[in-house]
Structure 1
Amino acid sequence: MIEMLSDIDRQLLLAVNGSDSLFLDHAVRTLTHALTWVPLYLGLFYMVMKNNDNFRRLLYVLCGAGLCVLLAGTVDDEIVKPLVARWRPTHDPEIGTLVDIVDGYRGGRYGFFSAHASNTMSIATFFGWLVRSRRLSLTLIVWSLTNCWTRMYLGVHFPGDILVGISWGFTVGTAVYFLYRRLTRGMYTPRNLNPSQYTTTCYRRQDCNWPVAIFVFTLTFVLIKACII
């Protein structure tokens, strides 16, 4: 059974890995780079700053986001990958020569599970619970899935690595949020706010649009850049 699942995993990877398009190659290499998404992180930080006048609660939000990254990504990179020691597709003895390598990028030796998938999904889940804005939640999920796709396109993760990463990221993001809610339970004052202007957790909808707009702008910039190069 395990061997059959591994074979399916390899076949699925080869089906979505790489292309003959230099445009996609350039776009994916930019999309998968952490620095590309710094503006999005700043947009989330701005949204949190604008909607938390209590410094202690603000600090808990930032610590929650940091804890998501620590549990989702660091645990994976420092513990799970060395322990499981599953080859990345680019280093896999069975299909390594079949994988389309983009710009010589192969990643580290081991790939189970995907830290990109777990990190981004944990952040998407945490802020989805925290803010309760459908538009923002959908945007962050698309952002996470975009990162997941780039990892398979580049051939550095099997679909199974991605699925486990997404699952772990969702679990971490949910657990961290409920820990945050427990710690900040006495910091919130019930307020009757216009639901057309505020979410159920008292985040101003207009402020929630900033990360959404930045995400769209970033995608547009990446696509234009890929056309020019």
Structure 2
Amino acid sequence: MLEQLLHFDKDLFLYLNGLGVAPWDNFWQFISNKFSAIPLYIFLLLISYRKYGLKSTALLLISIALLITVSDQLSNFFKYGVGRLRPCHDPDLSGITRLVKSYCGGKYSYYSAHASNAFAIAVFFGAILKSEAKYMATVLLLWATLVAYSRIYIGVHFPLDIITGALIGSLLGWLFVKLYIFALRKFSL
């Protein structure tokens, strides 16, 4: 059963990765770059500051820093614990993977920290800012989906890496929303 799932995952990766075309490569590399979202993060912080004020936004920054740290470290734990090779390091896929950039990343892929972090941030901010903008959560989840898919497009993650990262990131985002609300009440902010 697991072998069938992994075989299907490789086939789906090859299909999705193979859809890439050179004119779109720069766009997907930009989406995949963690620094490309800095304007979005600044925008979210400004909205948060307007809604919550300075002290609560400071607590929010601490919450986000902890959220991303937990998301990253949990991903690293799984990557080294599971030991699944990235598509660009997998000898079975050598020569048939469309690697958009010359650098493949670390040796292991399961699960995607990019997907986990993007979905964690999307769920967190989507929940705490839902009263500020009607479609905030939808837009943030769409952004997270683009970030996640970009990892397949550029050739460094399998679909299962992305799905697992999205699920774990969403769960972590939801948990940190609960912790943030608890802390707001605890410190009367």
TM over 0.5: yes
| Corresponding residue number in structure 1 for 2:55 | 56
Give the gaps of 5 or more residues in structure 1: 189-229
Shift of 1:171: 0.7
TM-score normalised by length of structure 1: 0.77
Shift of 1:9: 0.1
**Secondary structure in 2 matching 1:140:** helix
Is residue 121–residue 173 contact of structure 1 (8 Å, CA) maintained in 2?
yes
Distance in 1 separating the partners of 2:37 and 2:142: 13
TM-score normalised by length of structure 2: 0.92
| Corresponding residue number in structure 1 for 2:79 | 81
Aligned pairs for 1:114-133 (under 5 A) are 114-132=112-130, 133=133
**Secondary structure in 1 matching 2:92:** coil
Kindly provide the amino acid, as one letter, of the partner of residue 115 in structure 1: A
Kindly provide the amino acid, as one letter, of the partner of residue 48 in structure 1: S
**RMSD across aligned positions (CA):** 1.5
User: How many aligned positions are there?
Assistant: 186
1:56-78 superposed Cα distances (whole Å, 9 cap, x missing partner): 3222211121122111123212x
**Secondary structure in 1 matching 2:104:** coil
| Corresponding residue number in structure 1 for 2:96 | 98
Shift of 1:46: 1.1
Distance in 2 separating the partners of 1:140 and 1:175: 17
**Secondary structure in 1 matching 2:88:** helix
Distance in 2 separating the partners of 1:20 and 1:38: 25
**Secondary structure in 2 matching 1:24:** helix
Give the gaps of 5 or more residues in structure 2: none
| Corresponding residue number in structure 2 for 1:150 | 150
Shift of 1:18: 4.1
Shift of 1:180: 1.1
**Identity across the alignment (%):** 30
Kindly provide the amino acid, as one letter, of the partner of residue 59 in structure 2: Y
Structure 1 runs of 4+ aligned residues shifted over 4 Å read none
Rg larger for: 1
Is residue 18–residue 154 contact of structure 1 (8 Å, CA) maintained in 2?
no
Distance in 2 separating the partners of 1:6 and 1:21: 25
Is residue 101–residue 154 contact of structure 2 (8 Å, CA) maintained in 1?
no
| Corresponding residue number in structure 1 for 2:184 | 184
Kindly provide the amino acid, as one letter, of the partner of residue 110 in structure 2: F
| Corresponding residue number in structure 1 for 2:165 | 165
Distance in 1 separating the partners of 2:112 and 2:171: 14
Aligned CA distance change for structure 1 residues 102 and 130 (closer, same or farther; 3 Å): same
Aligned pairs for 1:42-53 (under 5 A) are 42-53=42-53
1:50-95 superposed Cα distances (whole Å, 9 cap, x missing partner): 2222x33222211121122111123212x22112111001111212
1:133-183 superposed Cα distances (whole Å, 9 cap, x missing partner): 431111110110000111001111111001110110011001111011111
Shift of 1:20: 5.8
Shift of 1:99: 0.5
